[in-house]
Amino acid sequence: MTSGHTGVLGSLEDWVRTGTVSAIGGKQLFWRQDGPADGPPITLIHGFPTSSHDWAAVLPHLTDAGFRVTMLDLLGFGSSAKPRGHRFLLTEQASLVEDLWRQLGIGTTALVAHDYGTSVAQELLSRSPERFTSVTFLNGGVYPDLHRPIAIQRLLRGPLGPIVGRLSSERMFAVAMRKIMRRPVEQADIHSLWLSMSGNGGKRVQHELLHYMDERKVHETTWVDAMESFAGPFEFIWGPEDPISGAHVLERIRQRIPGARVDELAGVGHYPQIEAPHAVALALLTFLRPET
59-82 pLDDT per residue, tens = 999 999 999 999 999 999 999 999
Does the model's pTM come out above 0.85? yes
pLDDT tens per residue across span 108-139: 999 999 999 999 999 999 999 999 999 999 99
Give the residue extent of every domain in the chain: 12-288
Q: Give the SS3 label for residue 233.
A: coil
| pLDDT tens readout for residues 132-181 | 999 999 999 999 999 887 666 766 667 766 676 777 899 999 999 999 99
Whether 4 contacts 188, CB under 8 Å = no
Q: Please, are residues 121 and 45 in contact by the beta-carbon 8 Å criterion?
A: yes
Q: Is 13 exposed, middle or buried (0-12, 13-18, 19+ CB in 10 A)?
A: middle
Q: Are 111 and 43 in contact (CB under 8 A)?
A: yes
Say which CATH architecture domain 12-288 belongs to.
3-Layer(aba) Sandwich (3.40)
